[in-house]
Amino acid sequence: MKFSILLVLAALVAFSCVTAGAQELKFAGLGDFKLVNGEVIHDCRIGYRTFGHLNASRSNAILLPTWANGTSDQLKGSVGPHALLDDSKYFVIAIDALANGVSSSPSNSASQPHMFFPTITVRDMVNSQHQLLVQILAIQHLKAVVGVSMGGMQTFEWMVAYPTFIDVAIPIVGSPRLAPYDLLHWQTEIDAIEQNPAWNHGEYTDNPSRGLEFELGALILTTPDRYNQTHTSRDLFDDLGKLNVNYTTDANNKIRQVEAMMALDVSANFGKDMARAAAAVKARVLVIVSRFDHVVTPQPAIEFAALIHAPLIELDSDCGHSYGDCDSARINAAVAEFLEK
């Protein structure tokens, strides 16, 4: 009898966690969180927001992970009746990835600050999300994981890390393993930070290399044709002049997330054999890529889609990685349809 009462109380606590304060930032304490490399994030905290309501059968939960340097606050626009995920149908859980400045990160860790913060992987991000779902929110199964860019990379990792935990996976402009061009881009971003005299091995006063980082991003987030259509020369230099006010990404955080993306390989636990990794996938998968994406080039995702016989949507607009500027309505409709199949 006493045991039954405890179970009821635990269920009520879990229910209150997933229904109260929707859209508000909440934190889950994971304690000392062990990473795949054996290191530990001490007093690990994970930020998250919830949208909509969990149904009685607890079968409508969808995980929405953050993109690189992104936050769950920035994902609010991806949730709603006419957005990427409809919270009138689904219980959407947006989770801040490790090292994004909200969840445990170099910028906010008291005991492991700056470059003393351990090196992380995309699998660590996924493992922290799984622990949050199971231990804090009492969610034992997800209807889907849907992620954009680095969120798409996390989606690919979810497919192989917890194959029976999810019914549907939809990676959007993500990758199961970065292509050489992608690695070159991200290494250039790291070099831009670390070769700046203000870097000081992560103990900087002013965030270094923000101008060069902005310029690199502007070069590859879209295509030359699109950029020239949407910007004038004055626009460009006005944007550069506003960097000191608007550019808030912490360099140490960025390095740790970039390292995680560069190390991504969903076949790592399958002898580096992508076909074996693909064979582990149990979810229904829809892969969405952008043909002219210069941030996450599409070929690895296209090849993985072929291995798992998944439907593929290949966008061909000039927006490149910034697909939402051209194709958001099309993608929102495709995601909604695939979730209901």
Partnered with residue 148 across adjacent β-strands are: 172
Phi/psi of residue 334, nearest 5 degrees = -65, -40
Q: What is the pLDDT of residue 132?
A: 98
Helix 251-263, helix 122-131: angle, nearest 10: 100
Residue 166 or residue 14, greater confidence: 166
SS3 content of the chain, % helix, strand, coil (to 5): 45, 15, 40
CB 289 within 8 A of CB 323: no
Q: How far is CA 216 from CA 65, 141, 187, 191, in A?
A: 24, 39, 12, 12
- Predicted TM-score (pTM) of the model is 0.92
Q: What is the pLDDT of residue 57?
A: 95
Please determine, for residue 164, whether its predicted confidence score (pLDDT) is greater than 90. yes
Please tell me whether residue 3 adopts helix, strand or coil conformation: helix
Please determine, for residue 8, whether its predicted confidence score (pLDDT) is greater than 50. no
- Report DSSP state, residue 167: E
Query: In the numeric block, which tokens belong to residue 39?
Result: 């290191």
d(CA 189, CA 183): 10
- Report DSSP state, residue 201: G
Whole-number average pLDDT of the chain: 91
Give the helix ranges, DSSP H, for 264-323.
274-279, 299-307
d(CA 317, CA 172): 15
> pLDDT band at residue 244, thresholds of 50, 70 and 90?
low
> pLDDT band at residue 121, thresholds of 50, 70 and 90?
very high
Q: Which domains does the chain have, with CATH numbers?
A: 21-181+256-339 (3.40.50.1820)
